[in-house]
């Protein structure tokens, strides 16, 4: 089955359909699909003149132990004879479910099951999200670009740089302004970027006034062609506090170079606590509290996320009344990737020297305490009133139920964070979802699996579409499906 590269779009449901073609009313695009082809979303097809869902329904299953053997429920299909399935270790996800958007009709699957003696229901659908985007966390000290700088792919803006967090740079991608508020090309590219990132594919982003960075969920970032291995252990001041005891007696001064807060050991509270002798080495920048300096250099891809390649550049002067010949100085970055050892000569000029073993060991300890640098992609979207009407005839009741934690929201079975305030705005780690969970339609918008799980009696109270409820065993018996293992660490929705 191949995608119709030129599916017609019907203006209304009254538009005539040529003989042999079928109209898909799953979303507002209203594709008219030719025989043997799929619609624009690649999820519905014309099969022998009938509209059919192409993707198999993805059933996530918990693996059960059986005397040391691994048992998968769906592998035992030939043993099941249609009896009621109580506490079946399976969950019907929205992946491959199809959509009824805009939901003037019930969601594609409203599945009843029994767990711990309680009748439950899961409303399963694939939502069409125009109001959506991705929040990307990139573990790096390297300078990616100025805050609010545009992020581009193929020349089109698809997002912007947002506030940096501890050891990470943050990006905001997508959003309705880029998807539908600009040119058609901008919308298509923004949608394509979101779909690829959320499906855990690699995408190269270009930041105005900054870097080129390759982002992929769960993988290290590649900044200007260089793979980032580790995120910093902390800011320069925090690094001083963590390792001061290990430097005591081995170095007269330690300066931890950092774009945000550079630390100077002898001035720092940690150095004073250890009764260290003042070294008289003053660094550039704006002094915050003792031993803590802001803006010792401009941001960049050098030492500690600065533009410095020679650490001595940040030394403003050395006080001859305080410093002494033979004074030993360690300069190190917040990841331990850069380290240099200096000894002051008779003119109090720092002279490079090999790292002593004790100091090399302390630098290695910094690296040991750094976590691996990764990219994290979080999908963010708002479940609109139309999507909610596919769950209940009174959508606000669903919103209240979610806020009261009577209804659990998942995406492909993965737990979501529901933002406080109005509506149902969710945030989910795409790495916790089944592979290839996301699709798109040419609106442009993302197609995203979403499930609402609650007690069956509560669903009735919400004004749910009780006439469309089907039993789990019926879904397993009649619908084309594939099984996937439950993602370890995800809470069980029926818990």
Residue 374 domain-assigned (yes or no): no
| pLDDT in single tens digits along all 495 residues of the chain | 445 544 555 555 567 788 888 988 776 678 899 988 888 777 788 888 888 877 788 999 887 654 444 445 665 554 555 555 677 889 999 999 888 887 778 999 999 999 999 999 999 999 999 999 999 999 998 899 999 999 999 999 999 999 999 889 999 999 999 999 999 999 999 999 999 999 999 999 999 999 999 999 999 999 999 999 999 999 999 999 999 999 999 999 999 999 999 999 999 999 999 999 999 999 999 999 999 999 999 999 899 999 999 999 999 999 999 999 999 999 999 999 999 999 999 999 999 999 999 999 999 999 999 999 999 999 999 988 789 999 999 999 999 999 999 999 999 999 999 999 999 999 999 999 999 999 998 889 999 999 999 999 999 999 999 999 999 998 988 767 888 999 989 999 998
38 and 112 in one domain? no
248 and 358 in one domain? yes
Residue 493 domain-assigned (yes or no): no
476 and 405 in one domain? yes
Residue 14 domain-assigned (yes or no): yes
98 and 61 in one domain? yes
Domain count, the chain: 4
Residue 197 domain-assigned (yes or no): yes
145 and 118 in one domain? no
467 and 362 in one domain? no
Residue 172 domain-assigned (yes or no): yes
Q: Check residue 5 and give its pLDDT.
A: 45
253 and 197 in one domain? no
324-382 confidence digits (pLDDT tens): 999 999 999 999 999 999 999 999 999 999 999 999 999 999 999 999 999 999 999 99
Q: What's the rounded Cα separation, in Å, for the pair 452 and 461?
A: 15
Q: Check residue 289 and give its pLDDT.
A: 94
Residue 191 domain-assigned (yes or no): yes
243 and 349 in one domain? yes
Residue 495 domain-assigned (yes or no): no
433 and 356 in one domain? no
Q: Give the global pTM.
A: 0.88
Domain that holds residue 435: 57-130+384-485
Q: What's the rounded Cα separation, in Å, for the pair 59 and 478?
A: 13
Last residue of a domain, one of 53, 75, 95: 53
- Which of 489, 484, 488 minimizes the C-alpha distance to 91? 484
Burial of 40-64, coded b for 16+ CB within 10 Å and e otherwise, reads bbbbbbbbeeebebbbebbbbbbee
377-417 confidence digits (pLDDT tens): 999 999 887 899 999 999 999 999 999 999 999 999 999 99
23 and 67 in one domain? no
Q: Tell me the backbone φ, ψ of residue 176, rounded to 5 degrees.
A: -65, -30
Contact call for residues 116 and 71 (beta carbons, < 8 A): no
392 and 420 in one domain? yes
């Amino acid at each position: 089955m191949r995608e119709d590269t030129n599916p017609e779009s019907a203006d209304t449901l009254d538009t005539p359909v040529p003989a042999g073609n079928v109209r898909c009313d799953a979303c507002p695009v209203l594709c008219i699909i030719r025989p043997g082809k799929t619609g624009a979303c690649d999820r519905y097809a014309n099969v022998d003149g009938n509209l059919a869902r192409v993707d198999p329904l993805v059933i996530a299953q918990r693996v059960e132990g059986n005397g040391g053997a691994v048992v998968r429920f769906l592998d035992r299909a030939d043993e099941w004879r249609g009896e009621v399935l109580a506490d079946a270790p399976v969950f019907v996800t929205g992946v491959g479910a199809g959509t009824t958007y805009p939901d003037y009709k019930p969601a594609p699957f409203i599945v009843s099951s029994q767990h711990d003696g309680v009748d439950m229901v899961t409303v399963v659908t694939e939502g069409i999200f125009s109001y959506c985007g991705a929040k990307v966390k990139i573990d790096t000290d390297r300078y990616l670009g100025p805050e609010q700088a545009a992020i581009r792919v193929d020349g089109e803006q698809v997002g912007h740089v947002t506030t940096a967090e501890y050891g990470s740079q943050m990006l905001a991608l997508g959003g309705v302004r880029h998807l539908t508020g600009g040119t058609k090309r901008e919308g298509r590219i923004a949608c394509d970027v979101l779909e690829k990132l959320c499906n855990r594919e690699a995408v190269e982003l270009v930041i105005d006034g900054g870097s080129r960075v390759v982002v992929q969920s769960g993988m290290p970032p590649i900044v200007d062609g260089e793979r980032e291995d580790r995120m910093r252990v902390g800011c320069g001041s925090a690094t001083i506090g963590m390792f001061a005891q290990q430097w005591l007696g081995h170095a007269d001064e330690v300066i931890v170079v950092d774009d945000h807060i550079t630390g100077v050991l002898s001035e720092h509270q940690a150095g004073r606590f250890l009764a260290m002798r003042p070294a008289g080495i003053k660094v550039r920048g704006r002094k915050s509290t003792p031993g803590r300096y802001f803006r010792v250099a401009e941001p960049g891809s050098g030492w500690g996320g600065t533009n410095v390649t020679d650490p001595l550049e940040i030394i403003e002067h050395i006080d001859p009344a305080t410093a002494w010949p033979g004074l030993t100085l360690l300069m190190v970055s917040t990841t331990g990737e850069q380290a240099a050892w200096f000894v002051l000569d008779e003119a109090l000029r720092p002279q490079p020297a090999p790292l002593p073993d004790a100091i090399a060991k302390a630098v290695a300890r910094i690296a040991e305490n750094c976590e691996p640098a990764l990219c994290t992609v979080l999908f963010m979207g708002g479940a609109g009133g139309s999507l909610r009407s596919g769950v209940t005839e009174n959508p606000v009741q669903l919103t209240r139920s979610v806020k009261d934690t009577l209804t659990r929201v998942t995406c492909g079975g993965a737990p979501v964070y529901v933002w406080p305030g109005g509506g149902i705005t969710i945030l989910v780690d795409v790495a916790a979802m089944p592979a290839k969970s996301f699709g798109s339609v040419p609106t442009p918008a993302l197609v995203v699996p979403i499930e609402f799980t609650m007690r069956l009696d509560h669903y009735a109270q919400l004004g749910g579409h009780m006439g469309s409820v089907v039993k789990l065993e019926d879904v397993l018996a009649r619908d084309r499906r594939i099984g996937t293992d439950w993602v370890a660490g995800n809470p069980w929705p029926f818990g």
